[in-house]
Structure 1
Amino acid sequence: MSTAVPEPGPKDAVTTHAAAGPDVDVVAIAPDPEVAAGIIEDTPLEDIFDAGTTAQAQEIISRYPMSRSALLPMLHLVQSVQGYVSQEGIAFCAKQLDLSDAEVSAVATFYTMYKRKPCGEHLVSVCTNTLCAAMGGDAIYKRLQTHLGSEEEPLGHNETAGTPNEPGSITLEHAECLAACDLAPVIQVNYEYFDNQTEDKAVALVDALRAGKKPAPTRGAPLSTFKGAELQLAGFFPEDEAAYRRDVDGPSQAVETLRGAKLAQERGWVAPVAQDVPLPEVEKK
């Protein structure tokens, strides 16, 4: 007896694939060429990515000996314009880098930092990896889900409260390790750290963002918008030196991070000097 779709075991299936569920954006993941062509025909690339963006793309490309190496920052550039990587954004990158849409899509869909749906003004990432989860990260994420959504319809992963790209809109995501275990639980807003969070602190943080405020991160540069952060990740900063320093300068370490190094310095602890050890003889072939 056959099964409708593939299942573990020896039974044959009527079809060789399982249909996507209603929450899967099949076009965004692997666009039908005809659909993609229709999208691009309806909205010419020049209407989205103007001459200034094209010039920035060419500047990015000039940084690399091989043009295709510029794809990652190019995708950040696209997100700084649209707030996500659209089909038009994929076509723009492909055209600038002389790649196929499929080659660009393969990269854009591999990394979670490239969003396939329009993002809010702010991206709020809650670390839910082991230590943060144990210290309250899971509870913070669930609290924000209901606070930004409702008890009946909590906001889901990579879903947006408010209208994407509009002021006060927030996209919520649960993130894997944010590399700040010594300050768990942590949240990032547009990739800037807010350490030692609690449920109430997290709620106050997103409420401030929705009200148009920009709370100071625990460490790092002043808070930007998601699009602003994406432009920086593409490698573009203010030309004015004071504005540049304001955007990039900020303490990146915390007291907890440096505690071990400080103790070692106070107590005169040093790592043993590495000694050169001869490599073992390898039998000649």
Structure 2
Amino acid sequence: MDMVQKEITRDDSLCAKEVIEQHPREERYTLAILQDIQRKYKYIPREALETLAEYLNTPVSRLYGMATFYKALSLTPKGKNIITVCDGTACHVAGSMIVLDELEKNLGIKAGQTTEDLKFSINTVNCIGCCAIAPVMMINERYYGNLTPKMVKEILDEYRGE
């Protein structure tokens, strides 16, 4: 499936510059700046990397290395709603893979992918820290526990209606 790549516009580029310039021009703030860019766009656009490289007077390749090293950062667009499925021991035993299968079936994408309309992305993690309500998933900052396949569909329908 081809993902629609969102091009950032000149206005977006100016917004990235505004995000970047909120931080001191010191390399020790690089990760914080990348996180702020990620928060704004749901990924780190190439143009933002280039703007940051110029701001910090550092090679784009160094920033690219950081952006690809940290799993929380992405160089490809993410969905408006980021779904994180826990596959830690408690969740796995309680059926997290059934939850993941239901998500993939309903959205038509696999873990690590984003829907073409950029509405949803699915990720998996080793632990969310909510073992008592396993299996668990998060959508953006909201937690859902004791999940069943039927609940997954109902929850997705809520987000589709936004």
Q: Larger RCO: Structure 1 or Structure 2 (Cα < 8 Å, ≥ 6 residues apart)?
A: 2
Structure 2 vs 1, CA of residues 92 and 120 (structure 1 numbering), >3 Å: closer, same or farther?
A: same
Matched, 1:48 2:12: yes
Measured after TM superposition, the shift of residue 108 of structure 1 is 0.5
Whole-Å separation in 2 of the counterparts to 1:209 and 1:45: 27
Report the residue type matching 1:163 in the other structure. D
Given candidates 124, 128, 134, the residue that maps to 1:178 is 128
Partner SS for 1:156: coil
> What residue in structure 2 maps to residue 112 of structure 1?
71
Deviations 1:21-55 (A, max 9, x none): xxxxxxxxxxxxxxxxxxxxxx89854321x5433
> What residue in structure 2 maps to residue 132 of structure 1?
91
Partner SS for 2:43: coil
Bigger helix share: 2
Give runs of aligned pairs for residues 210-225 of structure 1, distance below 5 A: 210-212=160-162
Whole-Å separation in 2 of the counterparts to 1:179 and 1:206: 22
Report the residue type matching 2:123 in the other structure. E
> What residue in structure 2 maps to residue 35 of structure 1?
none
Which structure 1 residue ranges, 5 or more long, are not aligned? Answer: 1-42, 150-154, 213-285
Alignment length (residue pairs): 157
Deviations 1:134-172 (A, max 9, x none): 1111110011111111xxxxx1122122412xxxx1111
**Normalised TM-score (structure 2):** 0.83
Q: Please identify, of 83-92 and 105-114, the stretch whose mean Cα deviation from structure 2 is larger.
A: 83-92
Whole-Å separation in 1 of the counterparts to 2:61 and 2:45: 13
Structure 1 segments, 4+ long, off by >6 Å, are none
Which structure 2 residue ranges, 5 or more long, are not aligned? Answer: 1-6
Partner SS for 2:74: coil
Give runs of aligned pairs for residues 1-285 of structure 1, distance below 5 A: 46-50=10-14, 52-61=15-24, 67-149=26-108, 155-164=109-118, 169-212=119-162
Whole-Å separation in 1 of the counterparts to 2:93 and 2:142: 22
Contact 1:127 1:178 in 2 (8 A): yes
Partner SS for 1:49: helix
Whole-Å separation in 1 of the counterparts to 2:142 and 2:57: 34
